[in-house]
Amino acid sequence: MKIAGIAGNRGRNLLHIADIAPGGAELSVVVANGEDAPALDGAEERGIPSVAVERGDDESRESHEERILDALAEYEFDVLCLDGFMRILTPEFLDRVDTVLNVHPSLLPAFPGADAHGQVLESNVRTTGATVHVVTEALDEGPIVTQESVPVFEDDDEQSLKERVLYEAEFEAYPRAIRWFAEGKVEVERDEEGRPVGVDIATDTKGDLPARRTVANRREDTLRYGENPHQDAAVYASDASEEPSVVHAPQLNEGAKDLSYNNYNDADGALNLVKEFEEPAAAVIKHTNPAGCATADTLADAYRDALSTDAKSAFGGIVALNRECDAETAAEIVDSFKEVVVAPGYTDDALATLTEKENLRVLDVGDRTEDDTLGPADRTERFTEKALVGGRLVQERDRSTLTREDLEVVTEREPTDEQIETMLFAWKVLKHVKSNGILIADGTETVGVGMGQVSRVDAVTLAAMKAENDAEGKSAEGAVVASDAFFPFPDAVEEAAEAGVEAVIQPGGSVNDDDVIEAANELGLAMVMTGQRAFRHD
C-alpha cells in the first residue's frame, strides 16, 4: 500500500511511518504547507519525494487545496495521512480523495481542536492519548479507527505531555492504523453520498492469546509453543521501536519452519551481542549464552574464530553477524548445523547458500539500519523489561562501553597494550554471559566461557575446562580472564592462574580486594578494575 502525507511542520509521525513501513506501506510523497517545514528535510534524507505548497497571504482555502491536489496527482497513493496540518478540509477536497486519516493528540471525542494538551492539563484528567480517525468536514469528528492511551502525571507540563503522547501514543496508534489498512482489515463505511460514517475492523480470533497487550504491543505471531511444548506463547511487537531487532526482521527463506520462542530469545541475545562492536563481529549463541564470539578483519574470520571456541556447544545454535553476510561466511555457517542466522543483509550468493539448508531460518535486520552494518549506535532503545506475576521489572539497558581510561591497574605488573585490547573485548562479551559469568579471551576472540554458576570459583573452573577441552587451536595460556563481578576471595584468581591466564579484568569492590590483589601479585598477574559490574540474570 502507498500513502501520501501532508505535514504542517516536522512531520514526525509521517517520517516514523516511513521508517518502519507498517504492513509494508510506503510513503510515496510528503507535501508541506511551508518551504521551511522540517518535514521536507526529513523526507529528502529518506529519499522520499517532497513538495512545498505554501498558501498565499490572500489565497482562499479552495485555491490552496486545489494546488495541493495538483501536487498529489503526480504520485500514487491509497490513503492520505495528515500530520499537524491544523486545517479543516473542504467537502470538495474530501470528495476527490478516497480516504484521509488524521492523528489527534487526545482521546476523542474529548478535547478536540487546537491545544489539546492544554485542555487535558486544565481538566485534571489522568489519562490522555491519541486518536486516529477518518477525516470529515467536521472538526475531529470523523469515525475513529484506533486509539492509544497514556497516563497524565501530576508534574506534567504541556511539553512533557506532548512528548509522551507523541512517542507512546501517536507512534503506536498511527502505524497500527496504517498496518490495518495495508492488511485489508479496515473497511470505511459510507453514507449514500459517499461520506465516511463508520469503520469496520476485522477481528483477529487466532488462538487464545490476546491480539494486543495492555502495554500497547501488538501480537506479531502465535508461536508453536513456549520454552516447552506444554506452554502457549506468542511474540509481540512495538511499532514505536526503530532499533534493528529479530521481532521486526523478515525471514528470507520461505517454507522453513517459523521461529520458536527459544529461537526468538536466543536470536535476540545474539543480535544484542554483535551490536557491541564496530569491527566485523560474529557470535554463536546457545540457550542465550555465547558459545563463542570474535571480531576480526573479515566477517568469515570472525565467524571461524567464534565457532572454534566451542564448536560442540555451537551445534544447533544461533549465529549473529554485524555485517552483511558474504558468500565465504555463509559457506562456513552451513558447514555445521545451525538453527538461525541473523545479519543486516545478505549478498545474493550468501543467501543462495544459506537457503539450501531446509530449516536454517535466515533473518534480515537490515531494513532498520542505515547501511549493511550494525554497531553500538544501533542500540537505541534505552530500557528493557522483564514480566513478573502481577507486574514487571523495567531497567535501563547496559549500553556502557569501557575505554582504557576506565581501567584502574591495581597490580605491580601492568597489562600490555594487547592485553588491554583483549580486556575491553572480553568485557563487551561478558555483559551477555549469564551470571555468575567468567570469560577467557585471547586477542579479540573467546577461548572459554563459564556461565550461570552459583559459585564464582565454579565459573572459573568451567571456563578453564571449556578452554582446555573444547577450544580448537587456542588455549587459556597467556590469555585474559574477565569476571562480571568482584572476586570475593583469592581462590578464583588462583584457579584462573593455574589454567594459564596472565591478566585479569574485574569490577573490584569486595571487602577482600586487598587479599585478591596480593594473590595476583604473588602469581605474577596483571589485574585491572572497572568500577562497574556486568551482571546478567535473565
Question: Rounded to an integer, what distance in angstroms lies between the CA atom of residue 201 and that of residue 199?
Answer: 6
Run of H or E residues at 480: strand 480-483
Active site residue 104: yes
Q: Report residue 307 CA to chain centroid gap.
A: 25
Cβ contact 277:295 at 8 Å: yes
The alpha carbon dihedral of 365, 366, 369, 371 has a sign of positive
Length of the chain: 538
Rounded to the nearest angstrom, the gap between the alpha carbon of residue 401 and the centroid of all alpha carbons in its chain is: 18
Query: How far apart are alpha carbons 104 and 99 in whole angstroms?
Result: 16
Provide the 10 A C-beta neighbour count for residue 417: 8
- With b for 16 or more beta-carbon neighbours within 10 A and e for fewer, the 330-344 pattern comes to bebbbeeebbbbbbb
- The rounded distance, in Å, linking the Cα atoms of 510 and 298 is 40
Helix (H, G, I), strand (E, B) or coil at 197: strand
The answer to whether the CB of 25 falls within 8 A of the CB of 16 is no
CA 67 – CA 59 distance, rounded (Å): 11
DSSP string of 108-174, one letter each residue: TTSS-SS-HHHHHHHHT-SEEEEEEEE--SSTT-SPEEEEEEEE--TT--HHHHHHHIIIIIIHHHH
From the centroid of its chain, how far is CA 378?
A: 8
Beta-bridged to residue 80, according to DSSP, are 4, 100
* Catalytic option among 16, 64, 104, 248: 104
Measured distance CA(43)–CA(376) in Å, rounded: 25
Query: In angstroms, how far is CA 375 from the centroid of its own chain?
Result: 12
Q: Which three cell numbers stand for residue 328?
A: 565465504
Q: Which of 333, 371, 368 is nearest to 350 (CA)?
A: 333
Active site residues: 104
